[in-house]
Chain A
Amino acid sequence: MTASGLAAIGAYAPRLRIDAAEFEAAWGRFDAAGIDEKAVPDADEDAVTMGVEAARRALTAADASGTDVAHLAFATTTPPMAEEDLAARLCSILNVPEDAKTQTMTGSTHAGAQALDATMDGGPFGEDIGLVIIGDCPRGDPDSEVEHAAGAGSVALVVDDDGPGTVLERASHTEAYPGTRFRTGGDDRTTGLGVTQYDRDAFTTTLDSAADRLDVPMETVDAAAVQSPDGKLPYRATGALGVDAGTIAAADTVSTLGDTGAASAFLGAATAFADDPERVLIAAYGSGASATLFVVTGPVPVETALDGTVSLSYAEYLRRRGEITRDEPEGGGAYVSVPSWHRTIPQRHRLVAGRCSACGALNFPPTGACTDCHERTSDFEAVELPGTGTVEAVTTIEQGGAPPEFVAQQSKSGQFDSAIVALDSPSGEQTVSVPAQVLDTTAEVTIGTPVVLTTRRIYTQEGVIRYGFKAQVASQRR
Chain B
Amino acid sequence: MRDAYLIGAGQTPFGSMPEESYRSLFDHAVSEAIDSVDHGIDTDAIDEAVVGSLGVGGRQLGLSGPAATEHAGLHGVPSVRVENACAASGYAVRQAVQAVKSGMADVALAGGVEVMTDMSSDVTKYWLGVSGETEWERLTGTTFSGVYAQMASAYLREYGASEEHLSMVAVKNHRNGAKNPKAHLGFECSLEDAVDAPVVADPLNLYHCCPTSDGAAVALVASEDVVEQYTDDPVRVAGVGAASDRVGLFQRDSYTAISASKKAADTAYDRAGVGPDDLDFAEVHDCFTIAELLAYEDLGFCDRGEAPQLLEAGTTDADGAMPVNLSGGLKSKGHPIGATGAGQIVEAFKQLTGSAADRQLPAPKYGLTHNVGGSGGSAVVHILEREAAR
Chain A residues near B (Cβ < 8 Å): 329-334, 336, 340, 344, 365, 371, 392-398, 401-407, 409, 416, 418-420, 433-437, 446-447, 458-459, 466, 468
Contact = CB atoms under 8 A, between A and B. Distances in A.
B140 A395 contact: no
Contacts of B120: 331
Contacts of B135: 336, 340, 344
Contact of A329 (B122, B199, B248): B122
B388 to A, nearest CB: 44
Q: In this complex, which of B141, B143, B202 has the most chain A Cβ atoms within 10 angstroms of its Cβ?
A: B141
B143 A401 contact: yes
Q: Top 5 nearest A-B pairs by Cβ distance?
A: A395-B149, A329-B122, A331-B122, A331-B123, A393-B150
B50 interface: no
Interface of B: 119-127, 129-130, 134-143, 145-146, 149-154, 157, 199-204, 246, 248-251, 255
B122 A395 contact: no
Nearest to B152: A395
Given A340-B135, A393-B249, A402 B141 contact: yes
A371 B139 contact: no
Nearest to A395: B149
Contacts of A397: 141-143, 146, 201
Contacts of B141: 397, 402-403, 405-406, 409, 416, 418, 437, 458-459
Given A395-B153, A398-B200, A447-B154, A334 B126 contact: yes
B146 A404 contact: no
A435 B153 contact: no
A403 B129 contact: yes
Given A331-B127, A393-B154, A418-B143, 15 more contacts: A371-B251, A395-B150, A395-B153, A395-B204, A397-B141, A397-B146, A398-B200, A403-B143, A404-B125, A406-B141, A418-B140, A418-B201, A420-B250, A435-B142, A459-B139
Given A406-B141, A416-B141, A393 B153 contact: yes
Contact of A401 (B200, B246, B255): B200
Contacts of A405: 138-139, 141
A446 B146 CA distance: 15
A131 B255 CA distance: 43
Contact of A395 (B119, B139, B201): B201
Contacts of B134: 334, 336
B136 A435 contact: yes
A401 B154 contact: no
A3 B190 CA distance: 74
Q: In this complex, which of B123, B127, B199, B251 has the most chain A Cβ atoms within 10 angstroms of its Cβ?
A: B251
Nearest to B158: A447
Contact of A393 (B125, B138, B140, B255): B255
Contacts, number: 122
A334 B125 contact: no
Given A330-B122, A336-B139, A395-B150, A371 B246 contact: yes
B154 A392 contact: yes
A417 to B, nearest CB: 9
B303 to A, nearest CB: 22
A346 to B, nearest CB: 14
Nearest to A340: B135
A285 to B, nearest CB: 40
A420 B255 contact: yes
29 contacts: A329-B122, A331-B126, A340-B135, A371-B246, A371-B251, A392-B154, A393-B150, A393-B153, A393-B255, A395-B150, A395-B201, A395-B204, A396-B199, A396-B202, A403-B125, A403-B142, A404-B122, A404-B125, A405-B138, A405-B141, A418-B140, A418-B142, A420-B249, A435-B137, A435-B140, A435-B248, A436-B140, A437-B140, A446-B157
B130 A419 contact: no
B126 A333 contact: yes
A434 B139 contact: no
B306 to A, nearest CB: 21
A396 B150 CA distance: 9
A390 to B, nearest CB: 13
Contacts of A433: 250-251
B201 A396 contact: yes
Contacts of B199: 396, 398
Contacts of A458: 139-141
A466 B141 CA distance: 13
Nearest to B120: A331
A407 B125 CA distance: 10
Q: In this complex, which of A332, A420, A433, A466 has the most chain B Cβ atoms within 10 angstroms of its Cβ?
A: A420
A338 to B, nearest CB: 13
A334 B142 contact: no
